[in-house]
């Protein structure tokens, strides 16, 4: 689907929001966002993931117009500079349609096609890669209910159901990627289990291996483990993503591209 020199791809987070959970990831302007994107490409990113609506714990959704106003000019500007695949982090089909027309070629949907009934049909028509993510509730309340009888089983069955929905809508199996949603309605123990069993999510489609995305970058669980604020969680993020790769993850969604690429080079060289 998305080929590169590594068995694992690095997806660079490009936040276009003023309220993302780490201030260091926020873009102050279109030019600043484009500069960050091009730096990520230089650092070795394989995919850029642009989001114009924060999904941090406690965040509220923005209007469609605001999302488009933040997103489209940046996609257009990046596309003039590089041919790297651009993923758009959105729940809205109209935003996806405009983003693809501007140069995007991938969808990262934290609602797993639940929020917009038109989204699945559009993705099937566009024939683009799609990330389906598990979460509980909405960003504004998702950390209020983090208890599971069996976190892996619940997340796996949810993703399996959303994959079936996508397949029934005409989305090609090879275009589907699953994300267990680290930090989205999970506590420390839940996140630990999901990272340790990352590779097991590849079995959501019987008879084939589905790609698995993990995004643990600078998240709260790493702060609990290390006692460090978000600004000081680089090493913890790289370690968490190394564990995810060793467990079978195929795509890492990260803030810190260069350091993640270094980790992958060491794994490839010594592995």
- Choosing from 92, 162, 186, 219, the catalytic residue is 219
The residues pairing with 9 across neighbouring beta strands, listed in sequence order, are 251
Residues 179-195, buried b or exposed e (16+ Cβ, 10 A)? bbbbbbbbbeebbbbbb
- Choosing from 136, 253, 258, 268, the catalytic residue is 253
Nearest C-alpha neighbor of 30 from the set 102, 91, 130, 128? 102
Contact 179, 217 (CB under 8 A): no
Q: Is 219 part of the annotated catalytic residue set?
A: yes
Greatest alpha-carbon pair distance for the chain in Å reads 49
Question: Alpha-carbon distance 72 to 218, whole Å?
Answer: 27
Catalytic sites, residue numbers: 219, 253
């Amino acid at each position: 689907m998305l080929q590169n020199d590594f068995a694992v791809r690095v997806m660079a987070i490009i936040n276009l929001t003023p309220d993302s959970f780490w201030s260091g990831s926020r873009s102050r302007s279109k030019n600043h966002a484009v500069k960050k994107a091009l730096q990520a490409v230089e650092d070795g990113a394989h995919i850029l993931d642009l989001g114009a609506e924060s999904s941090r714990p406690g965040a509220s959704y923005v209007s469609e117009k605001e999302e488009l106003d933040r997103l489209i000019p940046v996609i257009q500007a990046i596309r003039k500079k590089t041919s790297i695949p651009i993923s758009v982090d959105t729940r809205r089909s109209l935003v996806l349609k405009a983003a693809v027309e501007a140069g995007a070629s991938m969808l990262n949907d934290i609602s797993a096609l639940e929020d917009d009934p038109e989204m699945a049909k559009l993705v099937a028509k566009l024939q683009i890669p799609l990330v389906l993510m598990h979460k509980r509730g909405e960003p504004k309340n998702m950390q209020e209910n983090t208890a599971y009888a069996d976190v892996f089983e619940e997340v796996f069955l949810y993703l399996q159901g959303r994959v079936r929905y996508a397949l029934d809508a005409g989305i090609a199996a090879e275009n589907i990627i699953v994300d267990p949603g680290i930090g989205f309605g999970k506590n420390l123990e839940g996140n630990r289990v999901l990272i340790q069993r990352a590779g097991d999510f590849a079995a959501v489609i019987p008879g084939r291996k589905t790609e698995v995305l993990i995004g643990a970058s600078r998240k709260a669980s790493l702060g609990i483990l290390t006692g460090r604020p978000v600004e000081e969680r680089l090493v913890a993020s790289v370690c968490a993503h190394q564990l995810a790769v060793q467990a079978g993850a195929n795509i890492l969604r990260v803030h810190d591209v260069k350091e993640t690429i270094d980790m992958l080079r060491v794994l490839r060289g010594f592995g």
